[in-house]
């Protein structure tokens, strides 16, 4: 059974600090990795994807992928209260169509 | 606006009733999905269609029947609704191997 694990949190981070969210996956053959943000009562929204080992930056967000250790992380710099949400990690499995989803980490940014 | 849209947004109904949820995407994607998100917020894939063909059919009661009249539409019909069907149902779409984009969700409450 292919799995994606995330700490459910809540992860509490002071405003302006760096929030670090982690995700591990079981399928060593996984190729594509996605981070989604879900505000309470809203739908998941794609914020980043990463395919290659290393870092990928987009504004205040950095995705980091380490295939050897089978983890992917999301860093949020200069955290804002508006970043408070649940962050979902998703990994493309064997199927071209199916994503394997983590249960999400709830992030709280304290003013 | 280019998007994934779902109707209705809210659905409150009695046990035993039959109901349908509709989904449309104008992103030009070839793959569409139905997800169920329960009170614990875990996203569970139910079905996926690629070019109108059913390609993912997870362990879902036979009371749930998807239908894709064309690449841009994916509907979900639910027969004999039960209390445990209460959840948020999300439609999503993607190109093969690419990120999935979600509709706003349909909040179903079975009384």
HEC sequence for chain B: CCCEEEECCEEEECCCCCEEEEEEECCCCCEEEEEEECCCCCEEEEEEEECCEEEEECCCCCCEEEEEEECCEEEEEECCCCHHHCEEEEEEEECCCCCCEECCCEEEEEC
Q: Is A77 on the interface with B (CB under 8 A)?
A: no
The predicted pLDDT at position A29 comes to: 87
Report the share of chain B in percent with pLDDT over 90.
82
The predicted pLDDT at position B102 comes to: 97
Predicted confidence (pLDDT) at residue B58 exceeds the cutoff of 90: no
Two tokens, residue B35: 């997800």
Query: What band does B55 get if pLDDT is binned at 50, 70 and 90?
Result: confident
Which residue has 């929204």 as its token pair?
Answer: A45
Predicted confidence pLDDT, tens digits, chain A (111 residues):
779 999 999 999 999 999 999 999 999 888 899 999 999 999 999 999 999 889 999 999 999 999 999 999 999 999 999 999 999 999 997 777 789 999 999 999 999
Query: What band does B57 get if pLDDT is binned at 50, 70 and 90?
Result: confident
The predicted pLDDT at position A80 comes to: 97
Chain A nearest CA to B102, separation (Å)? 6
Chain B positions contacting chain A at CB under 8 Å are 31, 33, 40-43, 45, 48, 50, 55-56, 90, 94, 96-97, 99-105
The predicted pLDDT at position A15 comes to: 98
The predicted pLDDT at position B56 comes to: 84
Query: What band does B69 get if pLDDT is binned at 50, 70 and 90?
Result: very high
The predicted pLDDT at position B23 comes to: 98
């Amino acid at each position: 059974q292919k799995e994606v694990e995330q700490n459910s949190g809540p992860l509490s981070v002071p405003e302006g600090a760096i929030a670090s969210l982690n995700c591990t996956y079981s399928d060593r053959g996984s190729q594509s990795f996605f981070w989604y943000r879900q505000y309470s009562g809203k739908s998941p929204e794609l914020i980043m994807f990463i395919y290659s080992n290393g870092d990928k930056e987009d504004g205040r967000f950095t995705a980091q992928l380490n295939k050897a250790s089978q983890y992917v992380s999301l860093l949020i710099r200069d955290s804002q209260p508006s970043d408070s949400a649940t962050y979902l990690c998703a990994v493309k499995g064997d199927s071209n169509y199916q994503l394997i989803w983590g249960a999400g980490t709830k992030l709280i940014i304290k003013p | 606006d280019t998007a994934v849209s779902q109707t209705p947004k809210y659905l409150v109904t009695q046990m035993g009733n039959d109901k349908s949820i509709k989904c449309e995407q104008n992103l030009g994607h070839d793959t569409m999905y139905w997800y169920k998100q329960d009170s614990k917020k875990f996203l569970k894939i139910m079905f996926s269609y690629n070019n109108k063909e059913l390609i993912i059919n997870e362990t879902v009661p036979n009371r749930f029947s998807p239908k894709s009249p064309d690449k841009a539409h994916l509907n979900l019909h639910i027969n004999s609704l039960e209390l445990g069907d209460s959840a948020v149902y999300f439609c999503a779409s993607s190109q093969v191997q690419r990120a999935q984009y979600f509709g706003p969700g349909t909040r179903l409450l079975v009384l």
